[in-house]
Amino acid sequence: MAVYIALLRGINVSGKKIIKMEDLRSLLESMGLQQVRTYIQSGNAVCSAAAGAQEALSERISAALKLKYGFEVGVIVKTPDELEAALRGNPFAAGGVGAAQEETGEKRYYSFLAKAPEPSAVETLQAYASEADDYRIGGDVAYILCRDSYGKSQFSNNFLEAKLKVMATTRNEATVRKLLDMGRAVEE
């Protein structure tokens, strides 16, 4: 068995695509997933499943959600090691490029991408970096630094999807760290 973290895109936002976490947990358990735990209402689930099932799991969860709720939900599935690598790879973390300092109010966000974007798509983002917002792309993760607030950021999830031409789902650093902790606990 392997541990996976499912990140659902765009649920429970502005009263749309409502999925209760207890219902999500039940749905995942009905699919045969084990040790299912959910975290906050933005669509995060930790579970265990057969090793090597990561890519298929994303499609299976998305299909099950479509069948149950009647709407599309993009799902990105990561392993605890992948979340840890994303945290370690953040160029805005202490010692990285433009190191964010919590006392300045800067916030770090992780937009997990369905796949690494084409270099030409990444180039289109360069014109949008500013004093308020900055970004870096590392494989299938867009690292976003907001010096003001994510709600005012140019680098919203929808913006990144439009410019990079890949599905994305965004989490703040506290959520990524909590999901990593939950994933590691299931591994034990």
Domain annotation for the chain: domains and CATH numbers: 2-78 (3.30.70.1280), 84-176 (3.30.70)
Q: For residues 117 and 165, what is the distance between their CA atoms, to the nearest angstrom?
A: 7
Write down the pLDDT at residue 156. 94
pLDDT digits (tens, 9 = 90+) for 80-133: 999 999 999 999 887 554 444 454 556 899 999 999 999 999 999 989 988 889
Across the beta sheet with 141-146, the strand order is 133-138, 141-146, 107-113, 168-172
Write down the pLDDT at residue 129. 87
Q: For residues 42 and 92, what is the distance between their CA atoms, to the nearest angstrom?
A: 24
Write down the pLDDT at residue 106. 66
Torsion-angle region of 52 (φ positive above 0: left; ψ -120 to 50: alpha; else: beta)? left
pTM here is 0.92
- Give me the residues of the chain with pLDDT under 70, please: 95-106
